[in-house]
């Protein structure tokens, strides 16, 4: 299933060579993550204030396939997958038309802010995973 959002590449995202600075592609992925949360009805202010629960990234990686330039319209395809009761990963594909420009993954762990220990994903995140997630991958991992 997944969530899809378009991102117009802006000049400030590029480097001196005129291509998107490598770290900014992960920023684009995180923006797509935020958009998918909002589209699922999650209050972003409360989510990122993280008063009781937080979702730190435990791993991030990205593979670059072709350069992106100012003015490109990148389509970001995001698919989250539940890993266990306390964690999930998000697969991202950044595309120019049908051409894969980059693919990335982030792994998140749900923790209690009070003691920084792992805790089960709350219902709102379970619903987000169900709405945008790859349920076939989740079933295979069980």
Q: What is the pLDDT of residues 53-95, one digit of tens each?
A: 999 999 999 999 999 999 999 999 999 999 999 999 999 999 9
Domains and CATH numbers, the chain: 3-140 (3.10.129.10)
Rounded Cα distance, 53 and 135, in Å: 24
pLDDT for the residue 116: 96
Q: What is the pLDDT of residues 86-131, one digit of tens each?
A: 999 999 999 999 999 999 999 999 999 999 999 999 999 999 999 9
* From 15, 43, 84, 85, active-site residue: 15
Q: Among this protein's residues, is 15 annotated catalytic?
A: yes
Nearest Cα to 15, choosing from 23, 27, 6, 7?
23
Nearest Cα to 90, choosing from 78, 74, 73, 103?
78
pLDDT for the residue 134: 77
- Site of tokens 């945008």: 132
Mean pLDDT estimate for the chain: 94
pTM of the entire predicted model: 0.92
Instruction: Tokens for 5, please give them.
Output: 């959002």
Burial label, 2 (beta-carbon count in 10 A; 0-12, 13-18, 19+): middle
Decide if pLDDT at 138 tops 60: no
Element (H, E) at 68: none
């Amino acid at each position: 299933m997944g969530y899809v959002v378009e991102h117009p590449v802006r000049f400030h995202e590029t480097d001196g060579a005129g291509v998107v600075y490598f770290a900014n592609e992960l920023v684009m992925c995180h923006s797509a993550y935020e958009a998918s949360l909002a589209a699922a009805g999650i209050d972003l202010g409360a989510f990122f204030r993280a008063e009781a629960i937080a979702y730190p990234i435990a791993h991030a990686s990205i593979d670059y396939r072709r350069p992106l330039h100012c003015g490109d319209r990148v389509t970001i395809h995001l698919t989250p997958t539940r890993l266990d009761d306390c964690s999930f990963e998000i697969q991202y594909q950044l595309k120019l038309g049908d051409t894969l420009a980059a693919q990335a993954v982030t792994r998140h762990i749900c923790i209690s802010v009070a003691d920084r220990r792992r805790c089960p994903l709350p219902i709102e995140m379970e619903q987000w995973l169900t709405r945008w997630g790859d349920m076939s991958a989740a079933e295979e991992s069980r």
